[in-house]
Amino acid sequence: MEMVTAAVAAVLSPSVLFFMLVGVLVGAVIGALPGLSVVMAISILTPITFTLDPAEGLAMLLGVYNSGVWAGGISAILVNTPGTPASIMSTLDGYQMTKRGEAGLALGINTIYSAIGGLFSTLVLMVAAFPIANFALKFGPAEYFSLALFGLSMIICVSEKSVVKGVMMGCLGFMLATVGQDSMYAYPRFTYGNVNLLEGIQYVAVMIGLFGFGEVLTQIYESKEIVGLAEKIKIGKIIPSWKQFLDFAPITSLAAFIGVIIGAIPGAGGDIASIVCWDWGKKISKDKDNYGKGSAEGLAVTCIANNSIIGGAMTTMLTLGIPGDAVTAVLIGSLMMYGMQPGPMMFVNNQEFIYKMMVMMVVANIAFLIFGLLTSKMSASLLNFKREYVWAAIVILSIVGSYSVNNSAFDVSIMLLFGVLGFFFKRADFPLPPLILGLILGPMAESNLRRSLALTNGSYSIFFVNPISCVLIIATLLALFGPFLFNLLKGKKNSGDGQS
């Protein structure tokens, strides 16, 4: 209890609150602008927060995370263009409400239900994190190796179209993680005599390159002439009625619960949560006929699902060290930069900070709730930012941000290299999140594989004799080959039906 009180006091200090509000503001702008992602914002801001106190830095990043997911709904509602992938389903009902002259109500629902989703998932994080972490403390090297493989397999198979490309990118991330001194005997690998590579490839520079610089190059390539996205939109009333709150309560509660579970699955993000919840809502709601035609309930369901994934994703990240989505993959890098390794040991070594993060999540949700309701009438103007100036800002912040990690121009070269590679990978449909995840999980996978084999004199049986490890290996194989086997069985069944 003392730690909780200390965490509340620390988070409510003026400096932490200030940086959180800056994060909420940045997240609102980035989230609302179509094409700019929360991953990009956090990647660029991570090195900037490095010089701050960890509580101030994380407050800023969590502010961006929570408000960015919410703000993605603003452009979805006002101009039928989702600001983030998570808000894709908000276009269906939100934009129809705008066309009906209820843009204010749609924005209000987006803000209020996003905040409720975020607060609910934070509550789940508070309740579930410690028992999961206590369980994970029993993990040995074999379990950690299997866990790293499982985390990678989930993000590969859930997030992208091609499993082959996803696995390849994850392995490439693992391979990049082998650059530098090896974790057991400090033998230099692939360094070519360059001292900058002895410490390995800086994942912060890589993620800024892939999600910041590379994203700008992609947007320049894909850009079309757009003039004044949102100029004359009637806003109207903002707060939904009490009756609407009561009517929406059962279905939105269910959506919040499903959102948390989906968020906790590594690799499944807000886009999947909102699609699944909206689809469920459409099946079981009394108002199902209006779903997709401007249903306020349909919008509330997607908004609550969007933000409720955050607590789920944070639970998996903090307790197991496995990211729940692309943003938490980057946040792992941010925490590691502060000298904290997400996973069960963080609950032993940095317990006080865990409480601070939980309180920060609550405050971030309340902050964007107030900010969102107060600025609803102005939010349309957010969409009229000139994107060329935003690109210029992102590019220069990518350069300076990657430099500031080690005060080294070498890291800027790494950022540029991965920015250009990221552009080409994206053009050819190679998924980027598995690469960064492989880079982060690589050292964990390699060192635990080698430790496990050292314990058994080179016998691989340790991974199958140990029940937790065995379950994780089976789950990994199912995740990778399950869809292929399912399609094969389905094909056989269909051909059997055809013959009969």
- The footprint of other proteins (CB under 8 A) covers 48, 51, 162, 164-165, 167-168, 171-172, 174-175, 178, 182, 184-185, 187, 189-190, 213, 217, 220-221, 223, 388-389, 391-393, 395-397, 399-400, 403-404, 407, 409, 412-413, 416, 420, 423-425, 427-430, 446, 449-450, 453-454, 457-459
Distance CA 83, CA 239 (A): 22
Nearer to other proteins, 174 or 211 (CB): 174
Distance CA 253, CA 287 (A): 16
Nearer to other proteins, 17 or 420 (CB): 420
Nearer to other proteins, 194 or 223 (CB): 223
Closest distance to other proteins from the beta carbon of 174 (Å): 5
Residues in the chain: 500
The identity of residue 405, as a single letter, is V
Closest distance to other proteins from the beta carbon of 435 (Å): 12
Q: ∠ CA(246), CA(248), CA(249), 5° rounding? A: 65
Closest distance to other proteins from the beta carbon of 142 (Å): 14
Contact 417, 410 (CB under 8 A): no
Closest distance to other proteins from the beta carbon of 161 (Å): 11
Nearer to other proteins, 168 or 345 (CB): 168
CA dist list (Å): 11 to 4, 17, 56, 314, 341 = 10, 7, 8, 18, 21
Nearer to other proteins, 5 or 162 (CB): 162
Nearer to other proteins, 74 or 217 (CB): 217
CA dist list (Å): 209 to 49, 246, 252, 349, 398 = 17, 46, 38, 31, 7
Nearer to other proteins, 218 or 302 (CB): 218
Phi, psi (deg, nearest 5) at residue 488: -65, -45
Closest distance to other proteins from the beta carbon of 188 (Å): 9
Closest distance to other proteins from the beta carbon of 496 (Å): 25
Distance CA 426, CA 420 (A): 10
H or E segment and range at residue 142: helix 141-159
Closest distance to other proteins from the beta carbon of 199 (Å): 16
Closest distance to other proteins from the beta carbon of 165 (Å): 6
Nearer to other proteins, 355 or 425 (CB): 425
Q: Which residue intervals of 198-295 are DSSP H helices?
A: 203-208, 214-222, 242-264, 270-284
- In the DSSP assignment, the letter for residue 189 is E
Cα Dmax for the chain: 74
Nearer to other proteins, 178 or 375 (CB): 178
* 423 CB neighbour count, 10 Å cutoff: 21
Closest distance to other proteins from the beta carbon of 41 (Å): 16
Nearer to other proteins, 172 or 201 (CB): 172
Q: Is the dihedral of CA 295, 297, 301, 306 positive or negative?
A: positive
At a CB cut-off of 8 Å and minimum separation 6, what does 60 contact?
19, 20, 22, 23, 26, 45, 49, 52
Q: ∠ CA(94), CA(309), CA(20), 5° rounding? A: 90
Nearer to other proteins, 196 or 290 (CB): 196
Phi, psi (deg, nearest 5) at residue 180: 105, -170
Question: Taking phi first (over 0 means left), then psi (-120 to 50 degrees means alpha), and beta for anything else, what does residue 219 get?
Answer: alpha
H or E segment and range at residue 180: strand 180-181
| Residues forming a β-bridge with 389 | none
Closest distance to other proteins from the beta carbon of 89 (Å): 29
- In the DSSP assignment, the letter for residue 191 is -
Closest distance to other proteins from the beta carbon of 38 (Å): 22
Contact 463, 469 (CB under 8 A): yes
Nearer to other proteins, 98 or 153 (CB): 153
Helices 242-264 and 296-320 meet at what angle, rounded to 10? 30
* 262 CB neighbour count, 10 Å cutoff: 26
Nearer to other proteins, 247 or 446 (CB): 446
Closest distance to other proteins from the beta carbon of 119 (Å): 32
Q: Strand pairing of 180-181 and 188-189?
A: antiparallel
Closest distance to other proteins from the beta carbon of 489 (Å): 21
